[in-house]
A and B are shown apart, each in its own frame.
Chain A
Amino acid sequence: MAGTIRPRDANELRRAVEWALNEGTTLDVRGQGSKIALGKPMDCGQVLDLSGISGIVDYAPEELVVTLRAGTPISEVEALLAQRNQMLAFEPPDLGPLLGLQAGQGTLVGAMMGNLAGPRRLSAGAARDHLLGFSGINGRGEAFKSGGRVMKNVTGYDLSKLLAGSWGTLAVLDQVSVKVLPVPDQTRTLLLLGLDDATAVRAMCAALGSPHEVSGAVHLPGRTALRIEGVAPSVEARLTALRELLADAGAGMEELGTLGSRTFWREVRDVAALKAASDTVVWKISCPPTEGPAIVARIRSQRPSVEAFYDWSGGLVWLALPQCVDADHELVRGAIGAKGGHATLIRAPEAVRAAVPVFQPQPAALAALASRVKESFDPKRLFNPGRMG
C-alpha cells in the first residue's frame, strides 16, 4: 500500500509536490476520499492527503464570497453559510451512499474538482460557475493563483473553469474563493402525478420555457416535480401560473411545502432513487433535455430492467443497469445519438471501471488538445494519473 503525506499548509504542500517531482513519484490527491470510488482506479506512489489544510479563511456574507482551504469539509462550509442564511447555490451532491461510502463526507474543493452540481444546475449553474479563484501548486512544484474574490473578472485565462471538473489531474489547490447566494425565503414544489417519460419531459421543458423561474425539474417514475423558490407572494403567484400552464398535461397535481421540498430535493440531489440496489452500475448522461426519453428508450429496448430518472428537465439522465463486465458502456454511449451529450460511469466495481472508459472518450483532435493542456500544468503526470480515462 502506498504511504500517505499529509501537509499542514500551502508551503508544506508545495514541498510535498516538489519532493514527488524529484522522486518521480505519482500522487493520489485526496480531500476526504469521499469520491475515491468514482473515476478510473489508480495506482499511485503516494497518497497526498489534503485534510490537514483545512478551515475557513474569510467569509464576507455581504460580498457573497467565502474563502477556504482545500481540506475544508462541505458540511462545515454549509453550516457556516446557514448561520447567515446563505448557501452554495449549485447544491453539491453527497454521493457517498450512492458510491457505497459514508454519507456526509467530502470537501468543497473535492466537489469543485468533479464539477458536481445538484438540481439547481438549471438556474444557478454548476460548481464551475461558483469558483471565483484559487491558489495551488502545479506539477512543477510551483505555487500559482488565478481568478480572485470578485464577481467579475476577465484578467487572464479563466483557469477556475478549467480546474473545476479536472478531478485533481491538473494542479493541487490549497485555497479557493467561492461565490455564495442567499437562501430563498420559501421553497415549494409542484408535483405532477402519473406522467410517462416523454410527456413529463415535455411538461418540464414547457415549465422551464415559461417566465416562472423554475429552479428544479425532475421526473421520477410516476412523479414529476417542479421547484419554485423566492419571496412568498412570488412563489404563490408562480405556482398558480404553473398549474394553469400545465393543466393540459392531464396529470393529478400535488404540492410540497418548504420543509417537504427541502427533503425531496436533497434526495434528488443525492440520487437517492438509485441508491438501494448496490448490484447495479450507475451512469449519468448529460444530453439535450428533450432527448432524454429517447435515449432511455433505446437502452430499455436492450435492457428492460433499466431504472432511470431525469433531472435538469430531462438534460441529466441517471441510469441503473444490471451489473456486467463492461457496464454496457457501448450500449449507453451508443444510445446518446447525434444530438450530442456524454455519459459518465458513476458507480461500478473497480475491475469494471479499470476495463471501460469511465468518462466519455473524445474525438482524436480534442483528446490530443486535452493531453497538451494536462501537460501544460503537470508535465510529469504526477497528479491522479489516469483518473479521467
Chain B
Amino acid sequence: MSKACRCLPETVPQVSAILRYCQDNKVKVVPRGAGTSLSGGSMPVGDAILLGLGKFNRVLEIDYANRSARVQPGVTNLGITKAVEHEGFYYAPDPSSQIACSIGGNVAENSGGVHCLKYGLTTNNLLGIEMVLMTGEVVRLGGKHLDSEGYDLLGVMTGSEGLLGVVTEVTVRLLRKPTTARAVLLGFPTEAAAADCVAAVIAAGIIPAGMEMMDKEAVKCAEAYVGAGYPLDAEGLLIVELDGPPVEVDHLVERVAEIARGRGATTVRVSNDEQERVLFWAGRKAAFPAVGQITPDYMCLDGSVPRGRLVEVLAEMREMSKQHRLRVVNVFHAGDGNLHPLILFDANDPDELHRAEEFGADILRLCVRVGGVLTGEHGVGIEKRDLMGVQFTEIDLDQQMRLKCAFDPDHLLNPGKVFPQLRRCAELGRVVIHHNKMPFPDIPRF
C-alpha cells in the first residue's frame, strides 16, 4: 500500500473482509465516525485506510419494555433520542456535539455531556456492542441484559479510542424523560466562590442532573452570541439543573439557591418554563463557537481534577496565563471536576502556537499534580499522547500496550494514537524469570 484510501462499508461482512485483508497484508486502518474528535482520534495517517462508518446509520430495534435501543454505530447521538422521544424516552449522555457525533465515536471515546453528573457517561449507559476484530472475527459483548459475561470487554472497548476493534452495532440503555427539569443560574463575584459552591452542593448530598461553570469571559462571549440573559457582572457563573417530580425540583432548587446565597451569589435566577430552561443552556452549549468569535484560534483542553481542588487550579491557571501571555477562557463540567480551558491564540503566529501548546501542556501537568488526569472525556488521541508519561509509568503503559496486543498484535488499528512510544508485541510478551533467588524470607507465611 503506497497511497492512503478510504473505505465506506455498508455491511458487517464488508467490515470483516476489510479488516482481515488489512491483517493479512499488514495495512493500517483508522476507524472514523463523524470526525468530531477533539483529540485527533480519527485523524487519518499517511499510509492507512480510513474506514468510515457513516453508512451504518440505521436504528435497528427499539424495545421500550426493556428500555433499550439497538443501533448502528453511525447513528448520531441525538439520532437515538430523536427516535424514541415521541414515547417520552431519551438516551442520557449528551455531548455538546450530539447533533453530529456518532454513537460509535461515543463508545470509542466514552463521551460525556452536561447531564453525566447524574446519569453517567457512555460506559454507564451501554448494554452491548457487536464488533469486528482485526482477524475479521465478529464478536458480541453484552446485549439487552445487564453485565456482560466473562471479562468485561465491553467496559474495555468503551473509551479505547478505536485501537482495539471496529464497533458495528451498539445497544444502549434508554431512560424515561424526567417529569420536570429546571435550571438555576447562579452568578458569583469571584471564581473561587463559584467553585466553592460546586463542592458545597455535592457535600450537601445533592447530585444535580448537571452543574456547569463558565468564567466571566465565557459568559460575555456566550451572551453576545446567543443572548441567554446571563449576568455580565459575574466572575463565575454556574448553571445547575435539577430534575424529577415538580415537588422534588422545587425543594432542591430552594436548597441549591440557599447554598449559593451562603457563598455570596449575586444572581440567583430559576427558569420559569421549558423555554427559559433551554435558553439558559443555549449559552452554555454554544460556548465553544461563541469563544471562537473573539479569537482566530482556540485550543480546547479536557483535564479532570478533584472538585475540591477547582479553586486552586483555576487560580494557578490565571498565573500561567500571564506567564505564557495568552488568554484562557473556562467553560466546564464543574460538577464532576472536568475542566475545559480554552486557550486563545493565533495559529498563523508560530510563536503563539508554540506558547499555546506549552500552556496547554502546563495545564494538564497541573491537573495530574493535584490528583487529576489528562483527559476526562475527549480522549488522548494524538493530542495528549506525548503527555501520557506525566500520568503513567513505563510499566503502566506497557501493561496497556499488552492489552492492545491481545486485540491487535501488529498495531494496525488506529496507529499513532494514545501511546507515546510503540513497542513490538513480541518484545512486550517476553517474561523474565530470575532463577535461583529467594526473594522474600521476611514475608509472613503459614
**Contacts from A to B (Cβ < 8 Å):** 3-8, 12, 15-16, 18-19, 21-22, 49, 52, 60-65, 85, 115, 117, 121, 125-126, 128-129, 138, 140, 142-146, 148-162, 164-166, 170, 181-183, 202, 205, 208-213, 230-231, 233-234, 236-238, 241, 286-290, 312, 315-316, 339-342, 344, 359-360, 362-363, 365-367, 369-370, 372-377, 379-380, 388
Contact = CB atoms under 8 A, between A and B. Distances in A.
Given A6-B446, A376-B402, A156 B147 contact: no
A161 B158 contact: yes
Interface residues of B, number: 109
B443 A341 contact: no
B248 A165 contact: no
A182 B374 CA distance: 27
22 contacts: A5-B445, A6-B443, A125-B124, A128-B155, A142-B398, A146-B396, A148-B372, A150-B305, A150-B306, A151-B338, A152-B116, A154-B377, A156-B392, A156-B396, A157-B400, A158-B158, A166-B151, A181-B207, A234-B248, A237-B247, A375-B406, A379-B429
A15 B205 contact: no
B440 A12 contact: yes
A342 B141 CA distance: 11
Contact of B143 (A12, A65, A340, A373): A340
B431 interface: yes
Contacts of A160: 155
Contacts, number: 305
Q: Which of B128, B307, B405 has the most CB of A within 10 A?
A: B307
Contacts of B393: 144-145
Interface of A is mostly: mixed
Contacts of A236: 247
Interface of B is mostly: loop
Contacts of B431: 21, 140, 379-380
Contact of A290 (B66, B124, B133): B66
A234 B247 CA distance: 6
Contacts of A312: 146
Given A152-B116, A233-B248, A164 B306 contact: no
Interface string B334-378: 001110000000000000000000000000000000011111111
B399 A142 contact: yes
Contact of A148 (B63, B109, B373, B400): B373
Nearest to A149: B371
B378 A12 contact: no
B382 interface: no
8 closest A-B pairs (Cβ-Cβ)? A161-B155, A234-B248, A340-B143, A182-B205, A152-B376, A342-B149, A372-B406, A288-B144
Interface stretch (B174-182, B289-297, B321-329): B174-182
Given A150-B305, A231-B252, A362-B149, 10 more contacts: A8-B443, A8-B444, A151-B337, A154-B379, A162-B156, A209-B89, A236-B247, A341-B143, A366-B141, A375-B406
B338 A143 contact: no
Contact of A230 (B146, B248, B418, B443): B248
B190 to A, nearest CB: 19
Interface in B399-446: 399-400, 402-407, 418, 429, 431-435, 437-440, 443-446
B443 A61 contact: no
Nearest to B409: A372
